[in-house]
Structure 1
């Protein structure tokens, strides 16, 4: 337990910091998570981080809580998961509780409104930065590029027509397309292997016949 204390403390403080300085929801947190746990602490590989994001988004609950629980459990087991989840929720709970005590006065302050306008710009940057980092981490093959193009086209089309579309459907559709591509690749590989076996057997038969004929001549 004593050996785990430094890692538990580091985990708690990291998520406390991320929870305190993340505005705009869980998607704005992705860039901070990637920088903290992949780039700085090296607790996760980039591929695992991308897989975790897909799982965290497609499972029930906020993505911030899901990612904190996953990373905490990976780093320090059940206790780590509990501490990370508590740390990421604590700042938001504290801030909202304090604001609720004088909510009307808080909203009437002009400089608060201007501050939040600036924060909104930062949120747009954080989400865009997270998207770019995730895209860079993708394996650049035909399937991933086609999926990205399709999702981007759907997103732009739905945004232009102001249609609300849950992000979970993007994940499910892309997951089904990925599985379809996998099974299609498996079938192609099997057919290719069968063709190679047939061609090898056809090439082998004449040689065997020629060998037996030469043996009889001797």
Structure 2
């Protein structure tokens, strides 16, 4: 998965190709259970989901060449064991203007939701926050009562035009460490080390990013 927050509108086709490569060739590949794209510019939203693997979706590849935005994410899915594979289960999920994609498995998560998803169970427990501190506290409370391999998340708030990034895991450091950069265009984060110059997020770290700048940082442990 990958996400971005930029100062100006940018082309997302290169981000699509990066996620496509990771899904096909990256760690624990293949992530073949479909994918989702979410992009905002100043006035509109683009959302696209399909159960076709991202690296095989030629229609999607051509479609995103026409899409530009300042905020968004792309998530290629590898379903957790026991979770259905279908369009309904694709990330990002949406609750009241907030969108969340997640990587990892949460043991004991509430899957009684309509999507039968551990991700949605997590999302519904942390989505109601008034500020950055309350989000961090929501995540702290949730992970204190649930076992997990990873609770890495990308959360987009369409009203704040903000990106929240969480890097939280219990094992497999190489797989779950998130990597990011801030350049002249803005902020980009990836689930793998796609460039030598990328910085590593700390385990337990949550970032808030607005218009390409990290504006708040917190830790859940």
Superposed pair shares fold, TM > 0.5: no
TM-score of the pair, normalised by structure 2: 0.23
Which structure has the bigger radius of gyration?
1
Flag the structure with higher helix content. Answer: 1
TM-score of the pair, normalised by structure 1: 0.23
